[in-house]
A and B are shown apart, each in its own frame.
Chain A
Amino acid sequence: KAGVTQTPRYLIKTRGQQVTLSCSPISGHRSVSWYQQTPGQGLQFLFEYFSETQRNKGNFPGRFSGRQFSNSRSEMNVSTLELGDSALYLCASSFWGPSTDTQYFGPGTRLTVL
């Protein structure tokens, strides 16, 4: 069974640009979550999508947005990039059920903002 895939794996952008990251969940998983990991702030929840709807949201500015497609693939977009957006962005997918809900993480996209 294929795992969570994320593309691209590495990105270098400059301040003010925008970026789109992609995540393909494990087959059959309908919940996709995004997390940002930085040395200073650790792992922080961005948002979760389920059946094409944003179900949960973290405390990030509106420059961070996402969407989910009918095949459960998800994208996140960051507009007007700032230096502080440099981070590892992790996508996680889960089947989401009442009794078991392991979230499986993808390899991440490392974004560097210059």
Chain B
Amino acid sequence: ELKVEQNPLFLSMQEGKNYTIYCNYSTTSDRLYWYRQDPGKSLESLFVLLSNGAVKQEGRLMASLDTKARLSTLHITAAVHDLSATYFCAVDIAREYGNKLVFGAGTILRVKS
């Protein structure tokens, strides 16, 4: 059974600090997604990582994918309060057969000023 594990599940950090969220998965996949969810809201797509070694950056967030280690990271640089949200990683296990995302449990991020 595929498992997608995120850690930490809860992260409280000070503004201006750096931190990394880890996403480990247990099956072969070369397609990994990061989403953000604000309370009571839907999922907002942050990054799609499609190959080994892929690195994408948007603002203070940078995501990377190591398919050999089955690991993706979401790095937060100089956190600001607006980044407070829940972050999910998801692995697509359908690959060429369509879409079927398996999500991690989510990391609740609270940035304190």
Spell out A's residues near B (CB within 8 Å).
31, 33, 35, 42-45, 48, 50, 55-56, 58, 90, 92, 94, 96, 98-108
**Contact among B31, B45, B101 with A104 in the assembled complex (CB-CB below 8 Å):** B45
**Contact among A56, A90, A106 with B100 in the assembled complex (CB-CB below 8 Å):** A56
Whether A42 pairs with B103 at a CB distance below 8 angstroms is yes
Spell out B's residues near A (CB within 8 Å).
31, 33, 35, 41-45, 48, 50, 88, 90, 92, 94, 96-106
Separation of A35 and B106 alpha carbons in the complex (Å): 15
What 20 additional pairs, Cβ within 8 angstroms, besides A48-B94, A56-B99, A105-B44? A31-B98, A31-B99, A33-B101, A35-B103, A43-B88, A48-B99, A50-B98, A55-B98, A56-B98, A90-B42, A99-B50, A102-B33, A102-B45, A103-B33, A103-B45, A103-B101, A105-B43, A105-B45, A107-B41, A108-B42
Separation of A99 and B41 alpha carbons in the complex (Å): 28
Known contacts A100-B50, A103-B33; A48/B100 CB under 8 A: yes
Q: Which residue of B lies closest to A54 (CB)?
A: B98
Whether B99 pairs with A94 at a CB distance below 8 angstroms is yes
Q: Which residue of B lies closest to A107 (CB)?
A: B42
- Which of A31, A35, A43 has the most chain B CB atoms inside 10 A of its CB? A43
**Contact among B42, B48, B96 with A102 in the assembled complex (CB-CB below 8 Å):** B48
Q: Which residue of B lies closest to A31 (CB)?
A: B99
What's the minimum C-beta distance from B53 to chain A, rounded to whole angstroms? 16
What's the minimum C-beta distance from A37 to chain B, rounded to whole angstroms? 9
Q: Which residue of B lies closest to A91 (CB)?
A: B42
Inter-chain contacts of A90 with B (CB < 8 A):
42-43
Q: Which residue of A lies closest to B31 (CB)?
A: A101
**Contact among B48, B96, B103 with A98 in the assembled complex (CB-CB below 8 Å):** B96
Whether B48 pairs with A33 at a CB distance below 8 angstroms is no
Whether A56 pairs with B42 at a CB distance below 8 angstroms is no
- Which of B35, B50, B92, B100 has the most chain A CB atoms inside 10 A of its CB? B100
Separation of A79 and B51 alpha carbons in the complex (Å): 40
Inter-chain contacts of B42 with A (CB < 8 A):
90, 105-108
Whether B105 pairs with A45 at a CB distance below 8 angstroms is no
